Amino acid sequence: MDSAEMMKLLETRRTYRRFDETRPVPDEAVRDMKAALRLSSCSSNRQLLRFVFVRDPEKVKAVFACTRWAAMLPEGRGTPGEGQRPVMFAALLFEEGKIPRWMLDTDAGIALSNLTLAAWTHGIGSCMLGNIDREGISRILKVPEGMTLHTVTAFGYPAHACHIVPPGPDGSLKYYMDEQGDFYVPKREEDEFIFAEEYGAHR
């Protein structure tokens, strides 16, 4: 993969919220996703994160019932309907107290980036979800005492497009949907948040 291909991968690996339920995630994609997690960098190489891959349709349905979607949109607008729900979840777990929380969240971010990028190389979209019923999902997955559910990530072949656009006239960064159900995600220009040598300085 050359640099242009890598940048295109980063540009198109967006959050997808509607999927083709007729297409399961294939085994070869799951193998790459697991390998990507194994290769993730982490604090002091402690490798403290744990993952549960949920592919059984009944369990996927049960986990889905414990999730909330697209908080920036009107109630129910961003929630996938029948036939458009994820076909797989990956739950991220951790053991409290092993490392400072900021290190844990950094490790989680790196791992989830690896995971979703590996999925996207197979054309599989994803949505990281933090607005979830953690107790409910923990019961479904039989999470043992002492382990805590961090987030779940939904997967499936996308059933909509996702576009990067400039912020709105008022500077709004809220994502939105059009009538066809495609998503639009405003992104700031680089010189608005990346500086040279000193905060606020540009070259």
pLDDT digits (tens, 9 = 90+) for 118-128: 999 999 999 99
Instruction: Characterise 161 by phi-psi region: left (phi > 0), alpha (psi -120 to 50), beta (else).
Output: beta
Q: How confident is the model at residue 47 (pLDDT cuts 50, 70, 90)?
A: very high
Structure tokens at 67: 């999730």
Class of domain 3-160: alpha beta
Whether residue 170 contacts residue 177, with contact meaning beta carbons closer than 8 Å, is answered with no
Q: What is the pLDDT of residues 128-149, one digit of tens each?
A: 999 999 999 999 999 999 999 9
Q: Rounded to an integer, what distance in angstroms lies between the CA atom of residue 92 and that of residue 51?
A: 5
Going by C-beta distance under 8 Å and a sequence separation of 6 or more, which residues neighbour residue 193? none
Correct CATH for 161-203 of 2.20.180.10, 3.40.50.300, 3.30.565.10, 2.40.30.10: 2.20.180.10
Sketch the domain layout of the chain as residue ranges. 3-160, 161-203
Mean pLDDT of 87-103: 92
Sole residue written with tokens 């939105």? 176
Q: Per-residue pLDDT for 76 more than 80?
A: no
Q: Rounded to an integer, what distance in angstroms lies between the CA atom of residue 203 and that of residue 195?
A: 8
The one-letter code for the residue type at 191 is: D
Q: Rounded to an integer, what distance in angstroms lies between the CA atom of residue 160 and that of residue 162?
A: 7
The shares of helix, strand and coil residues in the chain, as percent rounded to the nearest 5, are 30, 20, 45
Total-model pTM: 0.94
- Check the CA dihedral 14-177-173-88 and report its sign: negative
